[in-house]
Structure 1
Amino acid sequence: MNIQLALDRMEIAEAIELTKKVEDSIDWIEVGTSLIKEFGVTSIKEIKQAFPHKQIVADIKTIDNARYEFELCFEAGADVATVMGVSPIVTIDTCMEVANRYQKKVMIDLLNTSDEQKQALRKYNEAIFCEHVSKDQQEELGSQNQGTKPSNFSAFQVAAAGGIKLDSIENLIGSLNPAVVIIGSAITKAEDPSAAAQQFKQIILQTKEKMPC
């Protein structure tokens, strides 16, 4: 199970400096949507250069213009790029084709997808599926991803995102058993980000040890 550190709403230099403090406890680094929107693919390039041995996720949230956007991300050094599950199937097909050509991965964000759309997405068995509680839901409604419902993609690689905290992660692991846990402000805005990241890592390891094989 990988911890993906989500870097959002900060300068590139600040993102790099913060990640250096926690890099021993995290596995993947997400160049957040806000970083890409504010600084372009330079944000991907600089973070990949700073952490060449980490998996870099470009959270570009593609919904159209897939070939252009995914090629930009992979050329900049991303190992994974994201596409919205509500996109047209031709868009997601294109994302998969580009990722295969670059030997990279696609993460499909399931935010606001219907059951019908989720069923259609199940053909992408090489993708990572992200069960996502949105930033607006977190900030306006106080929601967070606690994994209380089983994933529709339990047979696939699943990522979980959205307001994950130390007191919710054990329940989330038990219900979703995600391959990737995406953690943002619980680490990046912690008083001691290094200690927070270490705590998450420890809880994940302890929880996994308790689970049946």
Structure 2
Amino acid sequence: MIKFGEAILGKDLKAVVNVIIGKGNEIDIAFSNALTRTPSPIFANLRDNLIVKPLSIVVPRHNIDNEIQAELLHGVIQYGAAKAIADLDLDEDLKIVITVSVPDVPYTTLNKRKLFHYYYGATKLAITRALNEYPSKEKIKKEKYRALHPLVGFRDVRLERPPYLQVALDVPTVENMEFIIESLPKTDRIIIEAGTPLIKKYGIEIIEHIRELYDGYIVADLKTIDTGRVEVRMAFECTANAVVLSGVAPKATILKGIHECEKCGIMSYLDTINIENPLKLYNSLELKPDVLMVHRGIDEETFNKDRLYLDTDNEKDKKLILGVAGGVSIDNIDELKNKYDILVVGRGITKSRDPGRVARAIVNKLGDDIEQYRLYLDEDEDINL
């Protein structure tokens, strides 16, 4: 039996602790290998000549470059880890390998107390998590698109929590585009679409410009009709999160575009402008797009209501994200949000005198944003052994 755990505690100074814990041949091999590595590990001792049980070693994750780091490792870090193990009162037949980071900070009374405090707590938490096999697969699936890494500063959103407002930037100038983006509310429910006219005028690199202003979910509305792989890869390399393929393209182009999206790890939209039966097209594809977009074009003089109200209750693939573009406004949001996952609004926002106010009015009808504090503190974690 062998299990793994991890914990990071602290703010200005951080205790980073990884543990391997278990009994039997596997942990014996891991323990022996760790004991002979460089830089040399140390046993978890409460003091000189008093090793804790179960037998445990503390392994620095990096080279120890000076006397301060050596003293911290052999002092408060070793003691914090040892005290945590002693207080847990674990099965003596276990063995534990604890890897730690060792900071290079002034050797003051406050820093010593902080590091002991943090390493004691992190070691207990990492061991408890290992024995409880935390986190569960269900927790990871729930939070994989919500987690905010402290050294990254943004989350990777993959449309797991509809409905969304997709703002179509079919605007004539970069200055207008910048004004609209900067006026939009800060919310998890907004998708930015680099519209086809915008990309045609300024090139695919306009997505990188958008990214500097808005580091959220960005769709490249290429309406690809040929060279599916090439256009998807171009958008991917400019950091687009999704690419729009045209439903009137040859089937081979659609399939190659979807396949390239899957290879690159981005999402595929299939735009069904001028397609009479979008679901029939969707069901005919061996590879399925992530998003099926029901779309009335700007140049159409009349509006076919059937394109907004597909009968999908019995036919829609459960994995399919359904979007609607054309004719979406603040007046029909309440009705459409129950049928569609993505509501695309272009001129209703971009031609407004106050784009931010209109966007906020729509977003307020879509639901709450994701709250971050609970995820950061892991308040749902059961730490009982």
1:79-131 per-residue CA deviation (whole Å, 9 max, x = no partner) reads: 1000011222211121122112211010001112243434313x444521101
Consecutive unaligned residues of structure 1, counting only runs of 5 or more, are: 207-213
Larger radius of gyration: 2
Assess if the C-alpha contact under 8 Å between 1:84 and 1:108 holds in 2.
yes
Q: Cα gap change, 1:128/1:142 in structure 2, threshold over 3 Å: closer, same or farther?
A: closer
Q: Is residue 2:243 matched to residue 1:76? A: no
Q: Is 2:288 the counterpart of 1:117?
A: no
Structure 2 match to 1:132: 295
Could you tell me which amino acid in structure 1 is paired with residue 299 of structure 2?
D
Identity of aligned residues (%): 25
User: Which letter maps to 1:119?
Assistant: N
Who is 1:209 aligned against? none
1:81/1:145 Cα in 2 relative to 1: closer, same or farther (>3 Å)? farther
Range 163-172 or range 76-85, more displaced:
163-172
Note the C-alpha offset of 1:41: 1.0
Paired residue secondary structure (1:186): helix
Residues 1:160 and 2:324 are matched in the alignment: yes
Which residues in structure 2 correspond to 1:1-213 (within 5 Å)?
1-25=163-187, 26-52=189-215, 54-115=216-277, 116-121=280-285, 123-137=286-300, 140-141=301-302, 147-151=308-312, 153=316, 155=318, 156-174=320-338, 176=339, 178-205=340-367
Count of equivalent residues: 200
Q: Which amino acid in structure 2 is aligned with residue 91 of structure 1?
A: T
Q: 1:66 to 1:50 in 2, by over 3 A?
A: same
Q: Tell me the secondary structure at the aligned position of residue 106 of structure 1.
A: strand
Structure 2 unpaired stretches of 5+: 1-162, 369-385
**TM-score for the superposition, normalised by structure 2:** 0.48
Query: Deviating runs (4+, > 4 A) in structure 1?
Result: 142-146
Deviation at 1:143, TM superposition (A): 6.4
Letter in 2 for 1:193: P
- TM-score normalised per structure 1: 0.84
* Paired residues of 1:4 and 1:181 also in contact (CA < 8 A): yes
Q: Aligned pair in 2 of structure 1 residues 62, 168: CA closer, same or farther (>3 Å)?
A: same
Equivalent AA in structure 2 for residue 171 of structure 1: E
Structure having the higher helix fraction is 1
Deviation at 1:154, TM superposition (A): 6.1
Describe the shift of the 1:23–1:145 C-alpha distance in structure 2 as closer, same or farther (beyond 3 A): farther
Residue in structure 2 matched with residue 210 of structure 1 by the alignment: none
